[in-house]
């Protein structure tokens, strides 16, 4: 599933200062954000492509990350999954960053989880045993019954989307708001020989550099320092293997 041409130049898992005033014309800096919390995150319910909006905690998380990103210099544009939880997060960020344009792209959606969508993970083994078994499979080409995607399909969709965004904004700083499973697929493309050990918390921040030679570099990953002074750090479900 990982692209054999990937090279990792730098790969801190989280923390550190990856911000600079200018972006080199040879790459695109993409700030990757997971959406804020939803009631289904809080309840441990599987969302996938189902369109669930942010809860109050999620909106406060989005406000916190928006305040952080408002200090980032020269953000050009914001891309977002077209699902409400991501798009609302993106709109909150956009308002804090000078009313930036938000472009919705369905290729930034979460993995489609088929018959598991709408039920809690704890009840999935009994209510949807075939889909649950497929979800736990080690095979990257295993689709989930009920129209679900394989990990390979998720990887291809998300990484191709990010490559398009990078090509269209070379030398720019761009924000992308997406979902836990999709963001983990992006990390796999950037670092194919080292899986992320960090949970992708709601509104966590990652920074990727995509070069004009199609090299992906992880500069920052799974950072939630903007939430450290709030009560909202450990509340969300998903962002790990439960996101597919």
**pLDDT, tens digit (0-9, with 9 covering 90-100), for 62-103:** 999 999 999 988 899 999 999 999 999 999 999 999 999 999
Q: How far is CA 156 from CA 138, 185, 225, in A?
A: 17, 9, 30
What phi and psi, each to the nearest 5 degrees, are found at residue 154?
-60, -50
Q: What is the pLDDT of residue 19?
A: 47
For the CA atoms of 212, 218, 219, 222, the dihedral, rounded to the nearest 10 degrees, stands at 140
The residue written with tokens 């599987």 in the block is: 46
Beta bridge partners of residue 223, listed in sequence order? 205
3-state secondary structure the chain: CCCCCCCCCCCCCCCCCCCCCCCCCCEEEEEEEECCCEHHHHHCECCCCCCCCECHHHHHHHHHHHHHHCCCCCEEEEEECCCHHHHHHHHHHHHHCCCCCEEECHHHCCCCCHHHCCCEHHHHHHHCHHHHHHHHCCCCCCCCCCCCCCHHHHHHHHHHHHHHHHHHCCCCEEEEEECHHHHHHHHHHHCCCCCCCCCCCCCCEEEEEEECCCCEEEEEEEECHHHCCCCCCCCCCCCCHHHC
**pLDDT, tens digit (0-9, with 9 covering 90-100), for 97-154:** 999 999 999 999 999 999 999 999 899 999 999 999 999 999 999 999 999 999 999 9
For residues 195-223, average pLDDT: 91
The residue written with tokens 């050009």 in the block is: 76
The residue written with tokens 């995150």 in the block is: 41
Domains of the chain: 27-113+150-227 (3.40.50.1240)
CA dist 69 and 187 (Å) reads 21
Q: What is the pLDDT of residue 228?
A: 76
For the CA atoms of 85, 205, 226, 91, the dihedral, rounded to the nearest 10 degrees, stands at -40
Annotated binding site for substrate: 34-41, 85
For residues 201-228, average pLDDT: 94
Q: What is the pLDDT of residue 230?
A: 63
**pLDDT, tens digit (0-9, with 9 covering 90-100), for 22-60:** 789 999 999 999 999 999 999 999 999 999 999 999 999
Name the CA radius of gyration of the chain, rounded. Answer: 17
Annotated binding site: 34-41, 85
Instruction: Out of 29, 88, 110, 149, pick the active-site residue.
Output: 110
CA dist 124 and 48 (Å) reads 14
Residue pair 190/216 in contact (Cβ under 8 Å)? The answer is yes
Q: Give the number of other CB atoms < 10 A from CB of residue 175.
A: 26
Catalytic residue check, 88? no
Catalytic residue check, 110? yes
pLDDT at 196 exceeding the cut of 50: yes
Is the pTM for the entire model greater than 0.75?
yes
């Amino acid at each position: 599933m990982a692209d054999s041409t990937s090279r990792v130049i730098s790969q801190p898992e989280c923390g550190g200062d990856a911000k600079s005033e200018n972006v080199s014309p040879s790459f695109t800096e993409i700030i990757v954000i997971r959406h804020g919390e939803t009631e289904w995150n809080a309840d441990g319910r599987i969302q996938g492509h189902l369109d669930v909006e942010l809860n109050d905690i999620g909106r406060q998380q989005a406000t916190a990350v928006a305040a952080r990103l408002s200090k980032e210099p020269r953000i050009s544009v914001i891309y977002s999954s077209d699902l409400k939880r991501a798009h609302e997060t993106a709109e909150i960020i956009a308002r804090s960053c000078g009313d930036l344009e938000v472009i919705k792209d369905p290729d930034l959606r979460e993995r489609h989880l088929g018959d598991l969508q709408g039920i809690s993970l704890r009840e999935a083994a009994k209510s949807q045993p075939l889909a649950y078994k497929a979800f736990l499979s080690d095979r990257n080409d295993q689709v989930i019954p009920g129209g679900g995607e394989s990990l390979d399909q998720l990887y291809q969709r998300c990484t191709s989307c990010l490559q398009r965004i990078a090509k269209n904004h070379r030398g720019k700083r761009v924000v992308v708001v997406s979902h836990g499973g999709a963001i983990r697929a992006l990390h796999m493309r950037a670092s194919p020989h080292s899986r992320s050990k960090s949970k992708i918390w709601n509104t966590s921040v990652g920074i990727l550099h995509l070069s004009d030679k199609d090299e992906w570099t992880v500069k920052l990953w799974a950072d939630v320092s903007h939430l450290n002074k709030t009560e909202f750090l450990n509340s969300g479900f998903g962002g790990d293997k439960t996101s597919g």
